[in-house]
């Protein structure tokens, strides 16, 4: 990731150049740098469940699917940056997923 020397905005890769989407400034890429895009940078965050410990914290929450009273939870930004994050729950029994505002 590179930032524009002129305006400080994040630059986008275009062939052998970094191009600023805000001011149009162009900078050559460093030929000695190793720019690698890994698979996990291409995909949004995925929460895996069902394979043992999910690593997520648990809380008291009533599952709308099976009435279990425990669920894992995580926060995720799904709207614009100026909006608050949304809390998601995953039932510890049936792995049903729901959002805090779903019920």
Q: What is the pLDDT of residues 53-67, one digit of tens each?
A: 567 888 999 999 999
Q: How confident is the model at residue 89, as a pLDDT?
A: 93
How many helices (H) and strands (E) would you count in the chain? Answer: 1, 7
Instruction: Tell whether 52 and 89 lie within a shared domain.
Output: yes
- 18 domain-assigned: yes
> CB count, 10 Å around CB of 20?
20
- 42 domain-assigned: no
Domain count of the fold of the chain: 2
Residues at the binding site are 4, 7, 20, 23, 63, 66, 91, 94
Q: How confident is the model at residue 21, as a pLDDT?
A: 83
| Cβ–Cβ < 8 Å for 66, 39 | no
18 or 54, which is more confident = 18
Considering only CA atoms, give the Rg of the chain.
Answer: 21
Q: What is the span of the domain harbouring residue 14?
A: 1-35
In the structure, what pLDDT confidence band is assigned to residue 15 with cuts at 50, 70 and 90? confident
- 27 domain-assigned: yes
Instruction: Tell whether 31 and 53 lie within a shared domain.
Output: no
Instruction: Tell whether 31 and 51 lie within a shared domain.
Output: no
Residues at the binding site for Zn(2+) are 4, 7, 20, 23, 63, 66, 91, 94
Instruction: Tell whether 80 and 58 lie within a shared domain.
Output: yes
- 6 domain-assigned: yes
């Amino acid at each position: 990731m590179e930032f524009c020397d002129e305006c400080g905005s994040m630059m986008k890769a275009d062939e052998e150049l970094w191009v600023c989407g805000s001011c149009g400034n162009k900078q050559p890429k460093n030929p000695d740098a190793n720019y690698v895009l890994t698979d996990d940078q291409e995909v949004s965050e995925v929460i895996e469940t069902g394979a043992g410990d999910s690593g997520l914290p648990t809380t008291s929450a009533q599952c709308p699917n099976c009435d279990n009273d425990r669920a894992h939870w995580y926060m995720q930004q799904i709207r614009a940056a100026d909006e608050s994050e949304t809390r998601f729950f995953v039932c510890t029994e049936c792995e049903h997923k729901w959002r805090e505002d779903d019920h």
